[in-house]
């Protein structure tokens, strides 16, 4: 979501031409996942490791874990510093059941290599389900901060999930006070819905500055992630619990779709340049996130994935950017819907991901099926022309109908959308036919506000019109930054909106503004 008015038409790039170009220019080097390089520890004391002398502490970007499974979890760190150079650096890691590492249950050594920016991903398996662990890393002279993580409950176990969801954390526009609160919140899991970084240049009116102009190269994106991770509250939230992370547009460039750049967001109008840029951005995302996905070997990176949590929850992390077709009818991201959008062509998920989603939902026996979605799913019209955000699902009504009809026809059990992107809080009824107020409600959508990115002045300005035109909208609030804490258990799904009083004040209070609940079998949220 950006400002309007928007750009001229985005640029098209033929996929075949792109693949040919990217094969020649992009990352032909070996990119196998670090875990494959894992070798048995040569030391008897976990944590003792040989390797080069490093003057500076290489663990300034912190530690993280993610994508918990009943028998494992993925651990992450990335070494950083001026003295790393191109060398391989052995890193020892250990996982313990206690914070003091008296009971180490797994340990090993892995090489951090320059081709992955000295990032490390360790995919653990064979662990006990539903258990808490502590982990840390060592180089020859330095030890990382300690992270806390957990495995998911066993597949058939009744175990409620307490998780938070967050999105949109423009570094310059506010402090990460919401993350300080989340880090202390005793969460099982944190779900990030995208806009983890912003690619654009410096804002003069922010509370702090990141370096330089728009980021376009792998080195640029690496530096931008490193700036964001320099924030202690963000690092603390990563160290506090495992995350499940997907992406939105700003991890690459504002409002891109597939291989089509938004022209104003992209300083270089050459379509091949955008393809190279997306490749670099996806790679940097992989390097910096504790995700269990295969390391990118080229332009694409499949990240949609399922995270089951006992018998209560199936979390499905969607990718609404990579496979999306180009916006139709209008070059700008706000405007009225048009007939061309209603045809069967335009897609948000792409056919393969859509089929995957349907298979997962059909096979799911979970009490709650949570769709971790990026852009607004329910309709939201406003103004005299009944404009919508064309970058949301409103710009792809046929693709949306395919989802809602499936939820209805297949009787999917208690679907809940969690959504980011638009820097406001909202709760929506999602109907089987969103254009028919008489059709049944098949899901609730909880839209979470931004961690720090500023409120959208246009949507705030149309507040009365939004409320008047959208009877399925149960609540909307524009003025606060924050995040949402959810609990999904046998009796209810609750969503507690945690608001930061003032995200531009580093010491701001964080409080619960509103708490919503859904009962199983009745997908209508009540405050």
* Closer of 249 and 312 to Ca ion (Cβ): 249
Judge contact between 437 and 344, C-beta under 8 A: no
Among the candidate windows 19-27, 160-168, 267-275, 332-340, which touches Fe ion by CB under 5 A?
A: 160-168
Coil, strand, or helix at residue 24? helix
Residues 395-454 that bind Fe ion (CB under 5 A): 453
CA-to-CA dists, residue 25 to 19, 117, 118, 156, angstroms: 10, 18, 22, 47
On the CB side of 442, CA atoms within 13 Å amount to: 20
Judge contact between 264 and 86, C-beta under 8 A: no
* Closer of 195 and 287 to Ca ion (Cβ): 195
Among the candidate windows 12-20, 240-248, 469-477, 519-527, which touches Ca ion by CB under 5 A?
A: 240-248
Shortest Cβ distance from residue 248 to Ca ion (Å)? 4
Of 90, 300, 65, the residue nearest 187 (C-alpha): 65
Shortest Cβ distance from residue 17 to Fe ion (Å)? 31
Q: Give the integer Cα–Cα distance in Å for 427 and 78.
A: 37
Shortest Cβ distance from residue 462 to Fe ion (Å)? 18
Shortest Cβ distance from residue 376 to Fe ion (Å)? 12
Residues 409-438 that bind Ca ion (CB under 5 A): 421
| Chosen from Ca ion, Fe ion, none, partner binding at 67 (C-beta under 5 to 8 Å by type) | none
Among 248, 394, 445, 477, contact with Ca ion (rule: CB under 5 A): 248
Which residues have CB under 8 Å from 250's CB, separation 6+? 168, 194, 195, 196, 197, 198, 199, 200
* Closer of 65 and 425 to Fe ion (Cβ): 425
What SS3 string covers 247-315? Answer: CCCCCCCCCCECCECCCCCCCCCCHHHHHHHHHHHHHHHHHHCCCCCCCCCCCCCCCCEEEEECCCEEE
The mark string for 366-405 relative to Ca ion (x by CB under 5 A, - otherwise) is ----------------------------------------
* Closer of 65 and 246 to Ca ion (Cβ): 246
Overall size of the chain counted in residues: 527
Among 96, 168, 317, 525, contact with Fe ion (rule: CB under 5 A): 168
* Closer of 168 and 299 to Fe ion (Cβ): 168
| Chosen from Fe ion, Ca ion, none, partner binding at 333 (C-beta under 5 to 8 Å by type) | none
Eight-class DSSP state of 501:
S
Shortest Cβ distance from residue 2 to Ca ion (Å)? 8
Cis bond upstream, residue 5 (ω within 30): yes
Tell me the residue ranges of DSSP E strands in 357-491: 368-372, 387-389, 415-419, 425-431, 441-447, 473-477, 481-488
Judge contact between 40 and 108, C-beta under 8 A: yes
Judge contact between 102 and 51, C-beta under 8 A: no
Residues 443-502 that bind Ca ion (CB under 5 A): none
Shortest Cβ distance from residue 228 to Ca ion (Å)? 16
Shortest Cβ distance from residue 250 to Ca ion (Å)? 6
Shortest Cβ distance from residue 8 to Ca ion (Å)? 20
* Closer of 248 and 360 to Ca ion (Cβ): 248
The mark string for 184-213 relative to Fe ion (x by CB under 5 A, - otherwise) is -----------x------------------
Residues 453-472 that bind Fe ion (CB under 5 A): 453
Shortest Cβ distance from residue 168 to Fe ion (Å)? 3
Q: Give the integer Cα–Cα distance in Å for 527 and 45.
A: 53
Judge contact between 506 and 175, C-beta under 8 A: yes
249 scored as a contact of Ca ion (CB under 5 A): yes
* Closer of 124 and 197 to Fe ion (Cβ): 197
How many of the chain's residues bind Fe ion (CB under 5 A)? 3
Q: How far apart are the two ends of the chain, measured CA to CA in Å?
A: 27
* Closer of 237 and 252 to Ca ion (Cβ): 252
The mark string for 171-210 relative to Ca ion (x by CB under 5 A, - otherwise) is ------------------------x---------------
CA-to-CA dists, residue 35 to 16, 40, 118, 136, 291, angstroms: 32, 11, 13, 16, 12
On the 0-12 / 13-18 / 19+ scale of CB atoms within 10 A, 296 is buried
List residues binding Ca ion (CB under 5 A): 195, 248-249, 421
Footprint on this chain of Fe ion (rule: CB under 5 A): 168, 195, 453
């Amino acid at each position: 979501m950006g400002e309007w008015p928007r750009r001229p038409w985005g640029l098209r790039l033929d996929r075949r031409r792109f693949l040919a170009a990217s094969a020649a220019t992009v990352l032909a080097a070996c990119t196998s996942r670090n875990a494959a390089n894992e070798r048995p520890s040569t030391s008897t004391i976990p944590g003792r490791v040989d390797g080069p002398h490093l003057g500076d502490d290489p663990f300034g970007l912190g530690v993280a874990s993610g994508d918990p499974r009943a028998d494992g979890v993925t651990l992450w760190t990335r070494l950083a510093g001026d003295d790393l150079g191109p060398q391989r650096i052995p890193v020892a890691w250990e996982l313990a059941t206690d914070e003091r590492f008296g009971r180490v249950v797994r340990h090993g050594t892995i090489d951090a290599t320059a081709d992955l920016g000295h990032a490390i991903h360790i995919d653990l398996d064979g662990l006990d389900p539903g258990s808490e662990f502590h982990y840390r890393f060592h180089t020859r002279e330095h030890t990382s901060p300690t992270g806390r993580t957990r495995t998911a409950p066993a597949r058939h176990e009744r175990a409620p999930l307490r998780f938070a969801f967050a999105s949109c954390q423009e570094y310059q526009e506010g402090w990460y006070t919401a993350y300080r609160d989340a880090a202390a919140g005793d969460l099982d899991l944190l779900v990030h819905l995208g806009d983890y970084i912003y690619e654009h240049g410096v804002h003069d009116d922010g509370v702090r500055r990141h370096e330089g102009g728009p980021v376009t190269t792998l080195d640029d994106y690496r530096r931008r992630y490193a700036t964001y991770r320099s924030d202690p509250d963000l690092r603390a939230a990563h160290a506090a619990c495992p995350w499940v992370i997907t992406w939105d547009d700003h991890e690459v460039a504002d409002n891109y779709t597939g291989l089509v750049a938004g022209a104003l967001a992209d300083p270089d109008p050459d379509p091949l340049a955008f393809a190279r840029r997306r490749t670099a951005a996806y790679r940097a995302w992989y390097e910096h996130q504790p995700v269990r996905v295969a390391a990118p070997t080229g332009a694409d990176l499949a990240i949609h994935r399922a995270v089951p949590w006992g018998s209560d929850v199936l979390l499905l992390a969607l990718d609404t950017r990579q496979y999306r077709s180009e916006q139709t009818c209008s070059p700008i991201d706000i405007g009225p819907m048009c007939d061309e959008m209603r045809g069967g062509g335009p897609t948000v998920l792409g056919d393969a991901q859509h089929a995957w989603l349907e298979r997962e939902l059909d096979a799911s026996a979970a009490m709650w099926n949570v769709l971790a979605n990026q852009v607004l799913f329910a309709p939201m019209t406003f103004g005299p022309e009944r404009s919508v955000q064309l970058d949301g699902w409103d710009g792809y009504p046929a693709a949306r109908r395919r989802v809602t009809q499936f939820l209805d026809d297949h009787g999917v059990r208690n679907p809940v959308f969690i959504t980011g992107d638009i820097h406001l809080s909202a709760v929506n009824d999602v109907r089987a036919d969103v254009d028919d107020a008489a059709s049944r409600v098949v899901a609730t959508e909880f839209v979470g506000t931004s961690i720090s990115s500023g409120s959208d002045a246009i949507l705030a300005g149309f507040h009365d019109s939004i409320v008047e035109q959208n009877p399925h909208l149960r609540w909307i609030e524009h003025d606060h930054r924050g995040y949402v804490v959810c609990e999904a258990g046998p009796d209810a799904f609750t969503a507690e909106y945690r608001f930061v009083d003032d995200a531009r004040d580093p010491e701001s209070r964080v409080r619960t503004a509103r708490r919503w609940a859904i009962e199983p079998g009745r997908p209508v949220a009540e405050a």
